Amino acid sequence: METNILYTHKSLVEKSKLGDRNSQYKLYELYVDAMYNVSMRMMHIKEDAEDVVQDSFIEAFNNLSSFRYESTFGSWLKRIVINKSINQLKKKKIPVVPIENQMYHIKEDTETMPLETDIKIIIKGIDLLPSGYRQIINLYLVEGYDHVEISEILGISASTSKSQYHRAKKKLIEIVKTL
């Protein structure tokens, strides 16, 4: 079963590889909302997110021949969206990686998120994070990448990713508590 997941929408993908516009549109319809949300979480601005989604789909369909079911189509596409978002943020000189030296000392990871906190408040809290922390939290918590993957995406070491995530989480808890 696990290997079968990789071949989700295989016939659509195969037809799309041959340039069938209908199949491409069907794939687009299936994934556009998810990709738009990924992009919105990264970019935070509607227009920027839309640009990233457009560019990602264009790149994905035009380079679909290089997709060889090593992952699901969805995660392949999501990786394109994430990479494009990061590139856009870098172009805009928005810090992608959190600032290393924070003014405040980071205590041990004792605080935990009060359980059953409303998801909406958590989302609001993430929005209020400094952009560098927000990327890490989004990539790790929401998009579900592990620290090795995040290190590849952001071009940092896996240990940096780990420590930055903990800092970001602490900051998030602080913010959520004030909401």
Partner 1 sequence: MDDFQKYIKENKALFDVHKADKSKLWANIEAGLNPQESKTKTIKLWSNPIFKVAATIVIALGVFSLINIIIVGGVKQNSQNNLALQELNDINSHYKGLVAYHVKLVNKNSQLSSQEKKEFLSFMDELDLEYELLKVELQKNLDSERILEAIVINYKKRIELIENLLSHINNSKKMDNDDMYTL
Residue with tokens 């060889």: 68
Minimum Å gap between C-beta 43 and partner 1 is 11
Measured in whole angstroms, how far is the alpha carbon of residue 166 from the centre of its chain?
17
Query: Interface with partner 1 by CB under 8 A: which residues?
Result: 17-21, 24-25, 28-29, 32-37, 40-41, 49-50, 53-55, 57-58, 61-62, 112-113, 115-116, 119-120, 122-123, 141-142, 144, 169
Structure tokens at 42: 């990264």
Return the number of the residue (101 or 114) whose C-beta is nearest partner 1. 114
Of the pair 80, 103, the CB lying nearest partner 1 is at: 80
Q: Which two tokens stand for residue 93?
A: 């000189």
Q: How far is the CB of 101 from partner 1 (least distance, A)?
A: 26
Kindly tell me which of 62 and 100 has the beta carbon lying closer to partner 1. 62
Element (H, E) at 43: helix 21-43
SS3 of the chain: helix, strand, coil, percent, to 5: 70, 0, 30
